[in-house]
Amino acid sequence: MPSRSFGLGWMRRLAAHPDPLVETSNWVALLIGTHLPFWPLYVWLCAGSQAFPSALLTMTLAPAFLAVPLLSRRSGLLGRMAMLVVGLANAVFTLWILGAGSGTALFLAPCGALAAVSFRRQERGIMLIFTALPIVIWYWLQDHVPVPLHRYDAPALRQLFVLNAISIGVLIMAFGWLQGDIYRRMEARPPRAARQMSDEGTVPADAFERKAG
């Protein structure tokens, strides 16, 4: 997983899980949860003083993201599902704060992308639900766009759209980087590791350790 440098030791310990799919979900939750408190600043840089005080609400769900790794310790499957639910909720909640013109609805796309790589073959039913849910929400929003908490002017909306588009690109890059680590760990696992998975999608603590030698 991510480097041990840059003071990320506490995040590494909190995200750690013997199941690489769960650990990846934990990392995504921590990256977003630790980033959201800075989001009002980004909105202010894009929109100026009109961003406040409503922009402060964009960090509301940070604690929910940070709680995902704690839930994952009880159930890896529930942790992965919680990450997706909180991500979808945050996208819709922020859409209400910033307005449809800000491009916030685009965050539904990485929610679907994360769902597509968060589940195993025997969990395909759950995967289909969570990959379809962003599409359903997007379609519903076409005729039920929430009235924005604050109406930003056109230049500010253009800047917010660029901010959201770049953020989504960075998120998808992070998914790819973390997914590469999943492949590395699964290729190194013992041959019988797959059969040691529990019904909850978790595995024994030593199931994904590197082979000796």
Q: Is residue 45 in a domain?
A: yes
Domain tally, the chain? 1
Using CA atoms, how far apart are residues 158 and 174, in angstroms rounded to an integer?
A: 25
- Domain enclosing residue 90, as ranges: 30-191
Q: Is residue 151 in a domain?
A: yes
The region of weakest confidence among 63-67, 145-149, 175-179 is 175-179
pLDDT of residue 49: 86
Q: Is residue 79 in a domain?
A: yes
Confidence of residue 204 (pLDDT cuts 50, 70, 90): very low
Can you say how many angstroms the Cα of residue 150 is from the centroid of all Cα atoms in its chain? 25
Query: Nearest Cα to 20, choosing from 40, 5, 1, 7?
Result: 1
Query: Nearest Cα to 104, choosing from 167, 32, 194?
Result: 167
Q: Is residue 204 in a domain?
A: no
Q: Is residue 23 in a domain?
A: no
Using CA atoms, how far apart are residues 151 and 130, in angstroms rounded to an integer?
A: 31
Contact 171, 110 (CB under 8 A): yes
Q: Is residue 81 in a domain?
A: yes
DSSP state of 52: T
Q: Is residue 41 in a domain?
A: yes
The DSSP secondary structure of 118-169, one letter per residue, reads: SS-GGGHHHHHHHHHHHHHHHHHHHH-PPPPSS---HHHHHHHHHHHHHHHH
Q: Is residue 5 in a domain?
A: no
- Residue owning tokens 């024994």: 204
Query: Nearest Cα to 72, choosing from 25, 30, 114, 105?
Result: 25
Say whether pLDDT at 124 is over 80.
Answer: yes
Taking only the tens place, the pLDDT of each residue in 154-200 is 999 999 999 999 999 998 888 888 877 776 766 666 655 544 444 44
